[in-house]
Amino acid sequence: MTQRLHLVFGGELIDPQKNVFREVKDIHIVGMFPDYATAFSAWKAEAQRTVDNAHMRYYIAHIHRLRDESSAVSATEELGA
């Protein structure tokens, strides 16, 4: 069975109109989740917790999409070659 890992992270943006973090070192890693439903729940909790700061954004990254299990070498592994 293929795992569908999701990473929830966020931080303060330079401009709310763009997806550029003010300080990359300050990015808040909420955690890694085994499915979209639990990732969404964690994302929603953090987004609601920081709703008063218009510059704060949280995201869900679909980690499972970075690796193609049917291929001997994934696209992300080829980047380092």
Domain spans in the chain, listed from the N-terminal domain onward: 6-79
Q: Which of 39, 27, 35, 33 lies closest to 1 in space, CA to CA?
A: 35
The CATH class of the 6-79 domain is alpha beta
Q: What is the pLDDT of residues 1-37, one digit of tens each?
A: 667 899 999 999 999 999 999 999 999 999 999 999 9
Model pTM score: 0.78
At residue 61 the predicted structure's pLDDT band, cuts being 50, 70 and 90, is very high
